[in-house]
Amino acid sequence: VSTDAESFVIPAAPDLIPDGAWTKVEGGVCAAKGFKATGVYAGLRASGKKGDLALVVADAPAVVAGTFTQNVMCAAPVLYCKDVLKRRKTVRAVMTNAGQANAATGTQGYEDSVACAAALAAALGVEADDVLLQSTGVIGRRMKMEAFLPAIPQLPASLGATTADAHRAAVAITTTDLVSKEAALRVQLSSGATVTVGGMCKGSGMIHPNMA
Q: Least CB distance from residue 196 to another protein, whole Å?
A: 5
- Segment lying near another protein (by CB under 8 A), choices 1-9, 31-39, 121-129, 147-155: 31-39
Q: What angle do CA 115, 66, 117 make, to 5 degrees?
A: 10
Name the residue nearer to another protein (CB basis): 101 or 155: 101
CA distance 208 to 127: 34
Count of chain residues binding another protein (CB under 8 A): 86
Question: Using CA atoms in the order 85, 57, 34, 198, what is the torsion angle rounded to 10 degrees?
Answer: -80
Name the residue nearer to another protein (CB basis): 91 or 119: 91
CA distance 145 to 119: 11
Touching another protein, residues 43-102 (CB under 8 A): 56, 58-60, 62-71, 73-75, 77-78, 81, 89-91, 94, 96, 101-102
Touching another protein, residues 143-172 (CB under 8 A): none
Touching another protein, residues 97-136 (CB under 8 A): 101-104, 132, 134-136
CA distance 134 to 29: 15
Q: Which of 30, 44, 143, 155 binds another protein (CB under 8 A)?
A: 30
Q: Which of 9, 34, 122, 157 binds another protein (CB under 8 A)?
A: 34
Q: Which of 139, 145, 147, 164 binds another protein (CB under 8 A)?
A: 139
CA distance 121 to 209: 29
Cβ atoms of residues 136 and 101 within 8 Å: yes
CA distance 200 to 103: 22
